[in-house]
Amino acid sequence: MKKLLPFLMLLAIAGTWTSWKSQQHPDPLIQKKEIISCMETETMDAYFREASQNAFGQMHLSPVTIDAADLMGKMIQFNTADGKQASAYYIAPKKKSKKWLIVIQEWWGLNENIKAEADKYYKDLGDFNVLAVDMYDGKVAATPDSAMKISRSADPVRMTTILQGAMQHAGKDASIYSVGWCFGGMWSLQTAILAGSQAKGTIMFYGRPETNMEKLKSIQCDIIGFFGNLDRSPSPAMVNDFEKNMEAAGKKLTTHKYEAGHGFANPSNPSFNKEATEDSYSKAIAFLKSH
């Protein structure tokens, strides 16, 4: 037994040394994009605080109902890293394609209006997989009050996981494009950040811009944004700051501004502007085709 004691002591010292060394040198396999995606969520937190207030709700009327029988796609499911499944409305191209357009809902949820928008993009693009993700896991609001309740309980971490799952479903060789409105405009920009080198083009219809410079510097695709000069969320000042930040980050951002209010591209919104909607849509399609 006495002969074993020095050996056991050496083992204990070696174990302590190994533990200390592992604390001094964190896992080198963590990727930069994983670090960036886990950084502060100030932009998203600010949006959800605003979206849960009555003043924000008053900028929206209840959405127009669209007959689901006229829709082209189907609902599918895919896995996410948190062990759950997520859903999306999917339209497959006639010929196999590596191009994927991720369509992101407004604060209402994945309703028929967003599915109809996905159909519209599909018809005009033709060779894209179009995937409208369900960011609320099945919840859909029909009134501003119910939309505010969903916003209050929204989990940005789960939504990030859903988008990452959608991109994994598209595949590691997929070219990722995204488009979204308001809530979806904000997440469309986040998709460009999350997609890394797979991102090929991002469209924002209004939506709160990202303010974190490290996240903006990580973007690897061109961005096009459509904003209203009469909007309060985001305000013209916020859009101006976004332009300056993107320029400072060395990224290409093209903006188009209209004399219109929040949600001008949604026919059910009090600020709907037909001319601005048609002009912005034609520019969005041209952007996607050019990229």
Structural domain boundaries in the chain: 41-290
Return the structure tokens found at 117. Answer: 């928008």
Strand partners, 101: 130, 177
The matching CATH number, chosen from 2.170.150.20, 2.40.50.100, 3.40.50.1820, 3.40.50.300, for 41-290 is: 3.40.50.1820
The answer to whether 136 touches 94, Cβ cutoff 8 Å, is no
**Res 151: pLDDT:** 82
Which element (helix H / strand E) includes 253? strand 253-258
Residue numbers of the chain with a pLDDT score lower than 70 = 1-41, 43-68
**Res 284: pLDDT:** 98
How far does Cα 69 stand from its chain's mean position?
A: 27
Q: Give the Cα separation of 270 and 272 in Å (integer).
A: 6
Give the C-alpha distances (Å, rounded to integers) separating 245 from 40, 74, 107, 164. 17, 39, 26, 25
Termini Cα distance of the chain: 74
Tell me the per-residue pLDDT of 155-212, one tens digit each, with 9 for 90 and over: 999 999 999 999 999 999 999 999 999 999 999 999 999 999 999 999 999 999 999 9
The answer to whether 236 touches 216, Cβ cutoff 8 Å, is no
**Res 267: pLDDT:** 81
**In the 8-state DSSP scheme, what is residue 131?**
E
